[in-house]
Structure 1
Amino acid sequence: MAKRFEYSEDIGYPVDRVHATLTDPVFWRHRFEEAPEKLTLDESGGPGTLTATMRDSISASSLPGLVRKVVSGELRVERADEWGPLDGNRADGRIRGSSTGIPVRIECASVLRASGEGSVLELIGSVEVKIPLVGGQIESLIKKLVRDMVGQDRDAIEKWLGDS
């Protein structure tokens, strides 16, 4: 059974600037400048939209012990962030994640909205790992990874905007 989660991060910049960053191919290319082959960008959704798909490989030896028990070799993970246009003080998006090696599915609705002088990035989603007995424990680990990911995204956005 899938585990649900809700996370939010305050971002110290106005929603229009944050949205412009999230839909800017230059921002994403900068984040992946050391491994550009891990990133695919799709701007076909129209102005103010972007889908950034990130792929990575993780050696089983670097995974937590619980996960190493069910994975042999390399784990390939994929994350796709989709952002729609800014509509007033809000933009809706979606984040999906999956992997090979572990039958995992992550689905999130994301919202970027204005909050005072800044913005809030909210995620509501679920993670499901279809492995008998240990799937629930792995789902808990992945929920933490998603939380960490949202914090890293916030940090990258704030650094980008602070440097510009």
Structure 2
Amino acid sequence: MSRKISFTVQYNVPVEDLHRAITNDDVWQARFAEAATATLDLSHPDGPGTIRIHMTETAPADKIPSLVTKVLKSDLVLERTDNWGPLAGEIAKGDFKGASKGITTEMEGTYELRPTAAGSEVEVVGTVAVKVALVGGAIEPLVENLLHKVMESERKHIEAWFANQDA
């Protein structure tokens, strides 16, 4: 069974600037510079103004909810691949796929970057499935919450990156 997910992340950055940051290797390398258990693979298979971001990270044991630790088979390794297309007018679209090792989870969906009165936003729509008997349905909201937290952390990083560019 799977659970539908949907949320929006607000940015105080104009669409053109945010898209330029999202497709910039330097932004992602800075984001992962201090992540000791993470890997990052960046490519631009569809040319300039696009990006494929493949990330993996081993979750620290003290950050894993107890419900999840009870069913873990090994270290919890999270994996996500984002693909962002070019900016077309004031909209850019992307997609994501995620999975984990240690507990079988899968997530996938789409992104839409668009303008707002205060800057821009990224709408996230997709599904998450946790393949664990009896408790999978209880873990799925935790996975959705984790994705939301990660994307909020990415927002803070990108906005700080812009602030440092202006300094």
In the superposition, the TM-score normalised over structure 2's length comes to 0.92
Q: Which runs of 5+ in 2 are unaligned?
A: none
- Structure 1 residue 69 displacement after superposition: 1.1
CA–CA distance in 1 between the matches of 2:59 and 2:118? 39
Assess if the C-alpha contact under 8 Å between 2:109 and 2:125 holds in 1: yes
| Equivalent residues in 2 for 1:109-128, closer than 5 Å | 109-128=110-129
How many residue pairs get matched? 164
CA–CA distance in 1 between the matches of 2:160 and 2:63? 28
| Equivalent residues in 2 for 1:18-37, closer than 5 Å | 18-35=18-35
CA–CA distance in 2 between the matches of 1:104 and 1:139? 8
Assess if the C-alpha contact under 8 Å between 2:74 and 2:101 holds in 1: no
- Structure 1 residue 85 displacement after superposition: 0.3
Assess if the C-alpha contact under 8 Å between 1:61 and 1:68 holds in 2: no
* Equivalent residue, structure 2, for 1:145: 146
Q: Which shows bigger deviation, 67-76 or 34-43?
A: 34-43
- Structure 1 residue 33 displacement after superposition: 1.5
* Equivalent residue, structure 1, for 2:16: 16
- Structure 1 residue 10 displacement after superposition: 1.5
- Structure 1 residue 16 displacement after superposition: 0.4
> Aligned with 1:74: secondary structure?
coil
Q: Which runs of 5+ in 1 are unaligned?
A: none
Kindly, what percent of the aligned residue pairs are identical? 37
Where has structure 1 moved over 6 Å in runs of 4 or more? Answer: none
Assess if the C-alpha contact under 8 Å between 1:60 and 1:72 holds in 2: no
